[in-house]
């Protein structure tokens, strides 16, 4: 079982799930926890983008699972949209990209979303590893404020903050780390030091034309020194449990 | 000649960074030569130790290593330290602004480069980029504009968060070359189409990256007609025609 836990698809540019499933098939990926793409780049109704992503995933027979998003500047409406995504659209969590979305994460609206996510056991997958709003340590501050909420460091600190990400995960048991974007040295250290149950794998594929990134990141993961059971947990069991993929 | 432009060695007390292990990995991938950079602590503080390490390795393994040497430009004796390292065999001057605490294009590096350019005209300068506030490609853009006679290598091509800056910077600065380590072969090759194949330099990022995998991916993705240049020819020409 291979689940890609950090992957995007531009539903505005291509609304055909068959095209996406074909890409997943090509790389032997069984399931994908899908974030949108355009929603992080352009203004407009976030509800419309969440609707489109959910509609895109729906006919996939459970292989595609959506992550919704929200804009903090929307205030209470952001919290309502987050709740609607979980209750009505079948979202299994949220993707939030503070850098692209251009918002400071320390505000009451984010706190409300964190509370909501905790109530629904819905993880929040953050872009991390980029100042000034997306440091791994900033996500750790949220994790400390909301111990019932599950936080995923979507890049485990990327290149420059991977040690910070490990320390964040060491201090906060509600932090998970995606092996997605770090160099393999950092990935190996994460696997060696963190409980296997708190690791995920992702390609960060962003849509048509970027398929080589799936091959590359799968290749990096394949070369890590891991016991088979740990490899299976990272690729399959952990995301299945975290995102409740079998419900 | 196949050259890997970015490998990091340390002393034998750190086995994963040993020169012997690097040569073994190079041989397994058919890589002729590698630029060996000092470890992070030697960029930040123990500059002389790092320079002795890399120039010593190059002497111990003739033809296999190109010694990168550095100095923290805040040091009062920065030029003398660097000059000594070059005289000992350093072929590529390398700076890591994030580790050394300066902003490229500003402050202490400028004075050092002015003296270096006079004493060593044509010698390339490698700048590690990608750190968010100390090593953005746009900062190198300013530095390269101030020193048009110096050829700069943009180490790591701004990886990861400044990948989008590489093309507009390089289009305006013909004295900037781009190095691939940590920039991931699929993205790097795509940007070379816009920057120019004659500006591309292959680096694996060993030992943080797997040398064999990085080389196999780059070989697979580069157009055959440009591979020789990117995999060593461009760097050899920059360094004065290594054969």
- Residues B154-164 as b/e (b if ≥16 CB within 10 A, e otherwise) read bbbbbbbbbbe
Interchain CB contacts (distance < 8 Å): A and B: 47
Tell me what pLDDT residue A55 has.
98
What is the percentage of chain A residues whose pLDDT exceeds 90? 97
Among A160, A181, A213, whose Cβ lies nearest the Cβ of B131?
A: A160
What are the residues facing B127 on neighbouring strands? B95, B154
Tell me what pLDDT residue B62 has.
95
Report which secondary-structure segment, H or E, holds B48: helix B47-60
Instruction: Judge: A216–B161 Cβ closer than 8 Å, yes or no.
Output: no
Q: Which of residues 27-86 of A touch B (CB under 8 A)?
A: none
Instruction: Judge: A160–B217 Cβ closer than 8 Å, yes or no.
Output: no
> Is the pLDDT at B26 greater than 80, yes or no?
yes
What are the residues facing A52 on neighbouring strands? none
Q: What CATH number does residue B25 fall under? A: 3.20.20.140
Tell me what pLDDT residue B94 has.
98
Q: Which residues of B touch A219 (CB under 8 A)?
A: 213, 217
B190 CB contacts (<8 Å, ≥6 apart)? none
Has residue B108 been placed in a domain? yes
Q: What is the domain count for chain B?
A: 1
Report which secondary-structure segment, H or E, holds A53: helix A46-57
> What's the pLDDT tens digit per position in A59-89?
999 999 999 999 999 999 999 999 999 999 9
Instruction: Judge: B132–A160 Cβ closer than 8 Å, yes or no.
Output: yes
Q: Could you tell me the pTM of the whole model?
A: 0.91
Has residue B30 been placed in a domain? yes
Per-residue pLDDT averaged across B174-199, rounded?
Answer: 97
Beta strand residue intervals within A77-132, DSSP E: 94-96, 124-126
Burial of A240 (0-12, 13-18, 19+ CB in 10 A): middle
Per-residue pLDDT averaged across B95-118, rounded?
Answer: 93
Among A131, A216, A223, whose Cβ lies nearest the Cβ of B184?
A: A216
Whether the CB of A210 is below 8 Å from some CB of chain B: the reply is yes
Q: Among B26-40, B100-114, B173-187, where is mean pLDDT lowest? A: B100-114
Instruction: Judge: A212–B182 Cβ closer than 8 Å, yes or no.
Output: no
Has residue B29 been placed in a domain? yes
Instruction: Judge: A181–B221 Cβ closer than 8 Å, yes or no.
Output: no
Whether the CB of A19 is below 8 Å from some CB of chain B: the reply is no
For residue B238, the number of C-alpha atoms closer than 13 Å in the C-beta half-sphere is 31
Tell me what pLDDT residue B241 has.
62
> Is the pLDDT at A42 greater than 90, yes or no?
no
CA distance B178 to B144: 13
Tell me what pLDDT residue B120 has.
86
CA angle B153, B155, B161 (to 5 degrees): 130
Has residue B181 been placed in a domain? yes
Q: Which residues of A touch B186 (CB under 8 A)?
A: 210, 212-213, 216
The sign one gets for the Cα dihedral B96, B47, B205, A185 is negative
Q: Which residues of A touch B132 (CB under 8 A)?
A: 130-131, 160
Per-residue pLDDT averaged across B198-215, rounded?
Answer: 98
The shortest C-alpha distance from A223 to chain B (Å) reads: 8
Q: Which residues of B touch A130 (CB under 8 A)?
A: 132, 161
Has residue B243 been placed in a domain? no
> Is the pLDDT at B243 greater than 70, yes or no?
no
Tell me what pLDDT residue B110 has.
94
Q: Count of CB atoms within 10 A of residue B182's CB?
A: 26
Question: Which among A98, A127, A213, A216 is the top mutation candidate for probing chain B, defined by the most B β-carbons within 10 Å of its own β-carbon?
Answer: A216
ipTM for the predicted complex comes to: 0.83
Question: What's CA B154's distance to the chain center, in Å?
Answer: 7
Tell me what pLDDT residue B13 has.
82
Has residue B89 been placed in a domain? yes
Has residue B52 been placed in a domain? yes
Phi, psi for residue B6 in degrees, rounded to 5: -145, 95
Has residue B170 been placed in a domain? yes
Instruction: Report the SS3 class of residue A156.
Output: coil
Whether the CB of B159 is below 8 Å from some CB of chain A: the reply is yes
Mean pLDDT of chain B: 95
Instruction: Judge: B217–A219 Cβ closer than 8 Å, yes or no.
Output: yes
Among B156, B213, B221, whose Cβ lies nearest the Cβ of A212?
A: B221
Whether the CB of A159 is below 8 Å from some CB of chain B: the reply is yes
The parent domain of residue B82 ranges over 3-238
Instruction: Judge: B185–A160 Cβ closer than 8 Å, yes or no.
Output: no
> What's the pLDDT tens digit per position in A113-142?
999 999 999 999 999 999 999 999 999 999
The shortest C-alpha distance from B121 to chain A (Å) reads: 33
């Amino acid at each position: 079982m291979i689940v890609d836990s950090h992957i995007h698809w531009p539903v505005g540019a291509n609304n055909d799930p068959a095209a996406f499933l074909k890409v997943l098939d090509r790389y032997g990926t069984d399931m994908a926890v899908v974030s949108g793409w355009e929603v992080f780049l352009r203004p407009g109704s976030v509800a419309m983008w969440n609707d489109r992503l959910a509609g895109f995933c729906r006919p996939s027979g459970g292989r595609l699972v959506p992550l919704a998003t929200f804009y903090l500047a929307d205030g209470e409406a952001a919290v309502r949209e987050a709740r609607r995504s979980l209750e009505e659209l079948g979202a299994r969590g949220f993707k939030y990209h503070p850098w692209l979305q251009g918002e400071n994460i320390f505000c009451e609206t984010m706190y409300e979303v964190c509370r909501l996510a905790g109530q629904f056991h819905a993880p929040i997958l953050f872009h991390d590893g980029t100042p000034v709003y997306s440091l791994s340590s900033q996500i750790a501050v949220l994790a400390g404020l909301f111990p019932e909420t599950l936080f995923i460091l979507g890049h485990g600190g990327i290149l420059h903050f991977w040690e910070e990400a490990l320390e964040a995960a060491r201090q906060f048991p509600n932090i998970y780390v995606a092996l997605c974007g770090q160099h393999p040295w950092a990935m190996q250290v994460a696997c060696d030091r963190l409980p296997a149950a708190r690791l995920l794998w992702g390609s960060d594929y962003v849509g048509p034309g970027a398929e080589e990134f799936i091959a590359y990141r799968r290749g990096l993961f394949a070369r890590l020194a891991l016991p088979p059971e740990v490899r299976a947990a990272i690729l399959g069991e952990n995301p299945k449990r975290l995102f409740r993929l079998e419900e | 000649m196949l050259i890997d432009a970015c490998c990091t060695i340390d002393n034998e007390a750190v086995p994963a960074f040993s020169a012997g292990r690097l040569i073994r990995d190079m041989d397994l991938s058919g890589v002729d030569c590698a630029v060996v950079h000092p470890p992070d602590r030697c960029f930040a503080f123990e500059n002389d130790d790092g320079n002795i390490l890399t120039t010593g390795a190059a002497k111990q393994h003739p033809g296999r290593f190109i010694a990168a040497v550095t100095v923290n430009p805040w040091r009062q004796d920065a030029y003398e330290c660097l000059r000594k390292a070059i005289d000992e065999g350093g072929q590529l001057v390398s700076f890591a602004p994030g580790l050394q605490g300066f902003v490229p294009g500003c402050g202490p590096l400028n004075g050092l480069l002015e003296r270096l350019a006079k004493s060593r005209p044509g010698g390339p300068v490698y700048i590690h980029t990608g750190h968010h506030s100390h090593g953005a490609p746009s900062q190198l853009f300013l530095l390269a504009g101030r020193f048009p006679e110096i050829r700069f290598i943009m180490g790591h091509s701004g990886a990861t968060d400044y990948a989008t800056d590489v093309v507009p910077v390089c289009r305006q600065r013909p004295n900037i070359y781009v190095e691939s380590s940590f920039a991931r072969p699929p993205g790097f090759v795509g940007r070379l189409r816009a920057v120019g194949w004659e500006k591309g330099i292959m680096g694996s990022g060993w030992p943080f990256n797997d040398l064999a995998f990085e080389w196999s991916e780059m070989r697979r993705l580069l157009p055959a007609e440009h591979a020789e240049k990117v995999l060593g020819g461009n760097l050899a020409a920059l360094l004065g025609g290594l054969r």
